Amino acid sequence: MATIRQALLLSSSNCHGYTMLEFAKHEICAILEKNNIKQLLFVPYAQNDFNSYTSKIKDVIDPWGFEVSGIHTHPDPADAVMSTKAIFIGGGNTFLLLKRLYELNLVELIRNRVNEGNLIYIGSSAGTNVATKSIHTTNDMPIIYPPSFDAIKIIPFNINPHYLETPDPSTHKGETRDQRLNEYMEMDHAAPVLGLKEGAMLHVNGDSLVLKGVTGGVLFKKGHKKVEYPVGADLTFLFNLHGTH
């Protein structure tokens, strides 16, 4: 296994026109096969029915030639993370997920193992949110308090999964996603935000960032207008962008 940081950050597990995770199958298989990985540790902490959620992911990924197990079936979650070469953190509620990761002392452990190149990180939705600098730009309701909004920090900026284009202003008079993200941009602590449309994912390979999937993304940066990026765009500059540290 190559000793560089590797991650695949999905907007979600579902995309219109595809079965669960189908749009990401090629990229998930490629990152695991490249590193000779057969076993994948699934983290269902963003939801409450751990067994059902794990079974759902297992039913999809096992037929691809891998073996999925739930972290909750291991007596020691930290030991499970230390013993695996690849982890998949699923979606649900981001606040609940991050709280559980902190309670189990997994945030720093995952960060270190990924940054050392010893753990492949795959995240979807909430699992993508917690891989970033902070969870300030999640779409989820704050149903519980994590001890901090600071997240795993595999990347030094934020992501907004499930990003939606601003609706037609002639028919939509309510709030928009752009408004919410621009309110965040007005804060002193605001980091750049990559809005991932459904079907989009960010591939982290060492110090390289590439937008993959079937749809593109949108970048929000303090003091700038949003910029659209297509599938295949090289976003490596985000590692060095002012305001990401």
Q: Which residues are catalytic?
A: 125, 140, 162
Cβ(107)–Cβ(43) below 8 Å? no
**Distance of alpha carbon 88 from alpha carbon 9, whole angstroms:** 10
**Distance of alpha carbon 29 from alpha carbon 36, whole angstroms:** 10
Place of tokens 């941009």: 185
Cβ(40)–Cβ(66) below 8 Å? yes
Cβ(121)–Cβ(154) below 8 Å? yes
Residues 6+ apart with CB under 8 A from 81: 41, 71, 87, 106, 109, 110, 113, 119
